[in-house]
Structure 1
C-alpha cells in the first residue's frame, strides 16, 4: 500500500516537473522572440505609441512647419488613432475637429467642405494640422497655449491671458484653470517626448 502510494506521488512529481520544464522552454522561446522583434521598444510602438497615418502626419506637418511628433501626440490623446471617433460634444475624426471649425478652416483654404471629410484620415489630419499650426502662430510659438486653445478653445485662452496677465512666455501648466485642459496639455507634451524617442531617425 505504502509502496503504491509512493509510486503515485513520484509519478505526479515527474509530470509536474515535465510541465514546468515545458513552460520554462516556452518562456525562453518567447523572450528570444520578443528580443528579436525589438523587445520593449517594439511593444511601445505597436501598442502604447502607435504612429498610424504617419505619411499623412509628416506631409501635413512639413507643409505647416510644425512638429509631426506633436501632431501624433495630439491624435493619440484626441482619438487614440481612431478615424471614426466622435465625441458627445460633436468633435469628429482623428484630430477631433468640430464641424464648424473644419468649415472655417476649409473657407480659409478656399475649399468646399462637407462633414464627411472629417472621417477621411488624410483630410482630417490636414485640417487638424493646419489648425494646430495656426494656433501656434497666434500664440507666438507657445506650445502650451496653443495646445490649451486646441482643447479649450482659443477664446478661453485669450480670456485667461487677459484675466491672469499671462504673456507669450507662459509656461505654468498648473495655472491653467480647466483641470481637463491641464491634464490634456501635460499628456500631449509627455507623449510628444515619447514619440520623438521612439521614432526620431
Structure 2
C-alpha cells in the first residue's frame, strides 16, 4: 500500500517537472541552429526568422552539407540554377554553386529568395512556400487554372503532391517555432 502511494507521488512529481520544463524539452526537438545568421539575414530581407528556421528544418534539418535527390544544396536546399540567378540578383561576386554549402551564403540567399517570392505573391505564405518548393512558374500556371484556383489569387489545391506536403510541413514547423520561441528572436 505504501509503495503504491510512493510510486503515485513520484509519477506526479515527474509530471510536474515535465510540465514546468515542456518548452525546454520541445526546444531539444526543435532547435534553431545558425540563429545569428538567421536573425541577421531575416532582418536584412524582411522575412520572419521563425519561417526561415521552419524552411531550414523542413529542407535539410539544419544539415549544411545536405544535397537533395533533385540536386538542391545546403541548409535551405537551393537548386544550382536558382542559386546562380539569386547570386546575380544579389550581386554576389565570384559565386559558384559550391558556395551554396556555406551556411551564411545559403541562409542569405534563401532569405533573399523568400523575400523576392513574398513580393511577387503579396505575402501569401501558401503561394510563397509552393513557389519555393515547386517553382514560381508552376505556381503562376496553377493560379491561372480554374482546376487549382477559383480566383487567380489563391490555390484551392496544389497539384504536386510533394509540394503540397512540403507546404503543410513548413507551416506546421513555422507554427511550432513561432510558439516555442515566441518573442525570443527579434
TM-score, structure 1 length as denominator? Answer: 0.78
Larger RCO of the pair (alpha carbons < 8 Å, separation 6+): 2
1:129-161 CA distances to partner (integer Å, 9 max, x unpaired)? Answer: 101111111111111011001111111111111
2:144–2:152 contact (8 Å) kept in structure 1: no
> How large is the Cα RMSD of the aligned pairs?
2.5
**Which 4+ runs in 1 deviate beyond 4 A?**
23-35
- 1:116 to partner: Cα distance: 2.1
1:192 partnered with 2:168: no
1:50-100 CA distances to partner (integer Å, 9 max, x unpaired)? Answer: 111111111111111111111111111100111111012110100000111
1:176–1:182 contact (8 Å) kept in structure 2: yes
2:143–2:153 contact (8 Å) kept in structure 1: no
Choose 1 or 2 for highest CA Rg. 1
1:70-89 alignment, distance < 5 Å = 70-89=51-70
1:63 partnered with 2:47: no
1:149–1:157 contact (8 Å) kept in structure 2: yes
Q: Could you say what secondary structure the match of 2:145 adopts?
A: helix
1:1-201 alignment, distance < 5 Å = 39-47=21-29, 49-111=30-92, 112-164=94-146, 166=149, 167=151, 169-170=153-154, 172=156, 175-201=157-183
Change (3 A) 1:100 1:171: closer
- 1:191 to partner: Cα distance: 1.1
Taking the aligned partners of 1:168 and 1:189, their CA distance within structure 2 comes to: 22
1:5-50 CA distances to partner (integer Å, 9 max, x unpaired)? Answer: xxxxxxxxxxxx9xxxxx9999899778767xx6222121112x11
2:126–2:167 contact (8 Å) kept in structure 1: yes
2:27–2:180 contact (8 Å) kept in structure 1: yes
1:139–1:168 contact (8 Å) kept in structure 2: no
More helix by share: 1
